[in-house]
Structure 1
């Protein structure tokens, strides 16, 4: 994996909030950042992300759509 692809993957993962119990392990990785090369740190963060996947997002129920709903949209578009 190229460094930019790994960076983008990590940015996507860490842009979402993490549950509190896994933050302790992440803090330990963060403390070691000054002693590691950037590529090594990114690999360690990737391992962390793989070990702690985000929970799946709950499916939202789709509201039933009636014919009248479409008529209203068509009327608004014509006006």
Structure 2
């Protein structure tokens, strides 16, 4: 009985963790499916990818560094 008392909290937390993570994955999958349907309905070729988001971020950094360089040169 001692072993059950010691291990029970860990097992309960592990089970809760499993269901939370599973719910997150299901929500993400459902969101991606809904997004794909919207893109399909509006005739958009493809959804934005991580690479396009990264390139957008890089463009922002480039313009920020360019404006700060101009300010330093003046």
Q: TM-score, normalised to structure 1's length?
A: 0.29
Q: TM-score, normalised to structure 2's length?
A: 0.30
Which is bigger in relative contact order (C-alpha 8 A, separation at least 6)?
1
Where is the helix percentage greater, Structure 1 or Structure 2?
2
